[in-house]
Amino acid sequence: MKITLMRAAACLALFGSAMAHAQTYPTKTITMIVPFAAGGPTDTVARLVAQSMGTKLKQQIIIENVGGAGGTIGAARVAKAAPDGYTLFLHHIGHSTAPSLYRKLAYNAQTDFETIGLVTDVPMMIVARKDFPAKDMKELLAYVKANKDKVTYANAGVGSASHLCGMLFMTAIGTDLTTVPYKGTGPAMNDLLGGQVDFMCDQTTNTTSQVKGGKIKAYGVTTKTRLPFMKELPTLAESGLPGFDVAVWHGLYAPKGTPKPIVDTLAGALQTALKDPTVKQRFADLGTEPVAESRARPEALRAHVKAEIERWQPIITKAGVYAD
Ligand code: ASP
């Protein structure tokens, strides 16, 4: 009886201190980890959201880029971070494909994280260096098949969205290509611009301005419908790859054990950021839009991660792609 009472008192004290902490939170700079290199699409989304959330929370949110191994190095870092609300994690669809792609992961994508909310769904484009010898998707498919030993495909490593898109693309055309992995598609884009690699599939948040500026060529969009701001660009499904439909969803997380009042504060700040006219405008310029408020919530992202892990597992097993 005495022990039970003591335990209850200890629990109350812990709860009390978490509440007190949550009431004053945040009192210092917050770090948002992005598991890819600076200058890429995930980094771009994170910086826009972090700036606006920071304004709402009256504390700066800085971005730390922890790239490598398709986002799994950054995820492992967050899984081990202190659950105090000062480490956040902005990742994308790769958080749900990594558990099936990696034989060994240093974390559990569901149980090692608190979910805060979904952020945005971003279409991808197949893009190539400016002087790539194919004028449309039909020619690109023919060229790639005929030159499979010399064509190079850039991606951000096994587990990245560009890897996933490439994997689906190669499965659809029945051809394996030489892939060139980077720590993010920011640096991959630099090499595409410089002509060192031939093509890649990446979020519109990285490709739109380069395509509009005529610096790279676009061949198709990965979603079921065409992009409202680039109507002339066909979907991959229309261009000989039926059923192709991928959008890169992004979510915001904290380490497991981050107190619920803090998670709720962060979810509120995320919802405010997604209504910020500057964020909405920048997202629109880059070919995306914020998710509806009902999806920018902890329970919505939790359910989404689970459903996506279940969705990709059989597809990845069928493709037979694994990493150690
Ligand atoms: N777009 C990258 C990917 O392939 C990641 C990044 O650099 O943001 O997942």
Average pLDDT for 183-195: 97
Q: Residue 180 sits in a domain of what CATH number? A: 3.40.190.10
Asked, for residue 290, whether it belongs to a domain, the answer is yes
Could you tell me if 164 and 129 lie in one domain?
Answer: yes
Could you tell me if 51 and 98 lie in one domain?
Answer: yes
Q: What's the pLDDT at 18?
A: 56
Per the structure, the complete domain to which residue 273 belongs is given by 24-122+248-319
pLDDT at 12 over 70: no
Residues 6+ apart with CB under 8 A from 177: 144, 148, 151, 152, 153, 166, 170
- Ligand 1 in contact with 203 (CB < 6 A)? yes
Q: What angle do CA 183, 168, 197 make, to 5 degrees?
A: 45
Cα distances (Å, whole numbers) of residue 30 to 60, 65, 66, 193:
6, 14, 15, 34
Label residue 15 exposed, middle or buried (CB < 10 Å: 0-12, 13-18, 19+): exposed
Q: What's the pLDDT at 11?
A: 43
Q: What is the pLDDT of residues 250-266, one digit of tens each?
A: 999 999 999 999 999 99
β-pair partners for 126: 201, 220
Q: How far is the CA of 19 from the centre of ligand 1 (A)?
A: 37
Q: How far is the CA of 35 from the centre of ligand 1 (A)?
A: 9
- Ligand 1 in contact with 96 (CB < 6 A)? no
State CA 123 to chain mean position distance: 11
Residues 6+ apart with CB under 8 A from 310: none
Could you tell me if 100 and 145 lie in one domain?
Answer: no
- Ligand 1 in contact with 251 (CB < 6 A)? no
Could you tell me if 206 and 66 lie in one domain?
Answer: no
Q: How many domains does the chain have?
A: 2
pLDDT at 1 over 50: no
Could you tell me if 65 and 153 lie in one domain?
Answer: no
* Helix, strand, coil percent content, the chain, rounded in steps of 5: 45, 20, 35
Could you tell me if 253 and 104 lie in one domain?
Answer: yes
Q: What is the pLDDT of residues 14-68, one digit of tens each?
A: 455 555 566 799 999 999 999 999 999 999 999 999 999 999 999 999 999 999 9
Could you tell me if 145 and 89 lie in one domain?
Answer: no
Q: What's the pLDDT at 312?
A: 94
Average model confidence (pLDDT) for the chain?
92
> Which tokens hold the place of 220?
């198709």
- Tell me the C-alpha distance between 109 and 89, whole Å: 12
Q: Residue 70 sits in a domain of what CATH number? A: 3.40.190.150
Cα distances (Å, whole numbers) of residue 273 to 55, 87, 117, 191, 238:
9, 18, 12, 33, 35
pLDDT at 120 over 90: yes
Read off the pLDDT band of 319 (50, 70, 90). Answer: confident
What is the β-pairing status of strands 87-92 and 61-65? unpaired
pLDDT at 323 over 90: no
Residue 206 near residue 189 (C-beta atoms within 8 A): yes
Asked, for residue 11, whether it belongs to a domain, the answer is no
Could you tell me if 110 and 252 lie in one domain?
Answer: yes
- Ligand 1 in contact with 157 (CB < 6 A)? no
Report if pTM > 0.75.
yes
Q: What is the pLDDT of residues 206-239, one digit of tens each?
A: 999 999 999 999 999 999 999 999 999 999 999 9
Asked, for residue 242, whether it belongs to a domain, the answer is no
Q: What's the pLDDT at 281?
A: 96
Could you tell me if 268 and 179 lie in one domain?
Answer: no
Could you tell me if 112 and 258 lie in one domain?
Answer: yes
Could you tell me if 164 and 300 lie in one domain?
Answer: no
Q: How far is the CA of 3 from the centre of ligand 1 (A)?
A: 52
Residue 220 near residue 128 (C-beta atoms within 8 A): no
Q: What's the pLDDT at 222?
A: 96
Asked, for residue 66, whether it belongs to a domain, the answer is yes
- Ligand 1 in contact with 41 (CB < 6 A)? yes
Q: What's the pLDDT at 22?
A: 62
- Ligand 1 in contact with 42 (CB < 6 A)? yes
pLDDT at 4 over 70: no
Could you tell me if 129 and 211 lie in one domain?
Answer: yes
Read off the pLDDT band of 320 (50, 70, 90). Answer: confident
Which of 185, 203, 221 is the C-terminal boundary of a domain? 221
Q: What is the pLDDT of residues 63-107, one digit of tens each?
A: 999 999 999 999 999 999 999 999 999 999 999 999 999 989 999
Residue 71 near residue 159 (C-beta atoms within 8 A): yes
Residue identifier of the C-alpha nearest atom 4 of ligand 1: 162
Asked, for residue 135, whether it belongs to a domain, the answer is yes
Residue identifier of the C-alpha nearest atom 6 of ligand 1: 184
Asked, for residue 233, whether it belongs to a domain, the answer is no
Asked, for residue 273, whether it belongs to a domain, the answer is yes
- Tell me the C-alpha distance between 144 and 139, whole Å: 8
